[in-house]
Amino acid sequence: MPKPGKITTEQAVEFVKALARGERDRGEIIKNGISNQYNEAIATKGRSLLDVTPGL
């Protein structure tokens, strides 16, 4: 599931709570989230996509 460009602290906390309550696919969700962050960091050499995407 794609994540919004910017999330609030409250949204992040609620997301973690949902995972902790026993989301069935939580392992896969966490793995994909970490993988996506890693790939974004590699693709942008550690800079935010917002900083390197023209027009944003």
Q: For residue 4, what is the DSSP state? A: P
One digit per residue, pLDDT tens: the chain, 56 residues? 566 667 788 988 898 898 899 888 999 988 988 888 888 878 777 676 666 566 65
Question: Can you give the pTM of this predicted structure?
Answer: 0.55
At residue 42, the pLDDT reads 82
Query: CA–CA separation, 14 vs 19, rounded Å?
Result: 9
At residue 8, the pLDDT reads 85
Q: Are 5 and 50 in contact (CB under 8 A)?
A: yes
Q: For residue 55, what is the DSSP state? A: T
Look at residue 27 and give its three-state secondary structure: helix
* Token pair recorded at residue 51: 């900083």
At residue 12, the pLDDT reads 84
Look at residue 45 and give its three-state secondary structure: coil
